[in-house]
Amino acid sequence: MFQKIIIASKNPVKIEATQAGFHRMFKNESFVFEGISVPSEVRDQPMSNKETLDGARNRAKNAKDQFPNAEYWVGIEGGIHDDVFGMQAFAWIVILSNEKLSQAQTAIFYLPEPIANMVRGGVELGAADDQYFGRSNSKQKDGAVGILTKGEIDRKAYYEHAMVMALIPFRKEN
């Protein structure tokens, strides 16, 4: 029997990270994954921790509302937040089932100041990365984390660890 997982994104990196996280945490279970587009109800570039978490929650909830016949709904939202050290980049992952809501945050990292300044000026992080590094569509590939770590941590791996953490409450032994 397959369990249906709805991912509130059509971004291949987010879909792959969700698949990898579920397969790592539930090795003996079978899943069918579907990526869909739903609104986050926040800005295209969330500018705070709260707004980013709200975006992930809204995506998961809107996915559940649109496709109620699934076992899990996953929202992933990347965001930024300025603090005294500079501009942090991170993502929130929210997973819903009919019984539970769980969430986890990725690690944070600081953006180089030229990219942070573009984002402060209204450019979405993915577009700022593309512009600064002379790339295209990096947010559906390695993302800022992959570019800045020179491939040591790509965007899929970056999301995958947080996905595993968000799945902890859904393990049967918990």
**What domains are there in the chain, each with its CATH number?**
2-108+154-170 (3.90.950.10)
pLDDT value for 23? 97
Nearest Cα residue to 55 out of 46, 63, 47: 46
- Mean pLDDT for the chain overall: 95
Residue 65 to residue 49: CA distance in whole angstroms? 24
pLDDT value for 135? 86
Nearest Cα residue to 170 out of 63, 93, 107: 93
pLDDT value for 157? 94
User: For 130-144, what is each residue's pLDDT tens digit?
Assistant: 999 988 877 777 889
User: For 13-22, what is each residue's pLDDT tens digit?
Assistant: 999 999 999 9
pLDDT value for 143? 85
Cα-only R_g, the chain: 16
User: For 79-123, what is each residue's pLDDT tens digit?
Assistant: 999 999 999 999 999 999 999 999 999 999 999 999 999 999 999
DSSP state of 171: S
**How does residue 174 score in pLDDT terms, banded at 50, 70 and 90?**
low
**How does residue 36 score in pLDDT terms, banded at 50, 70 and 90?**
very high
The pTM (predicted TM-score) of the whole model is 0.94
Which amino acid appears at position 164 of this protein?
Answer: V
38 neighbors 63 (Cβ within 8 angstroms): yes
Residue 172 to residue 169: CA distance in whole angstroms? 8
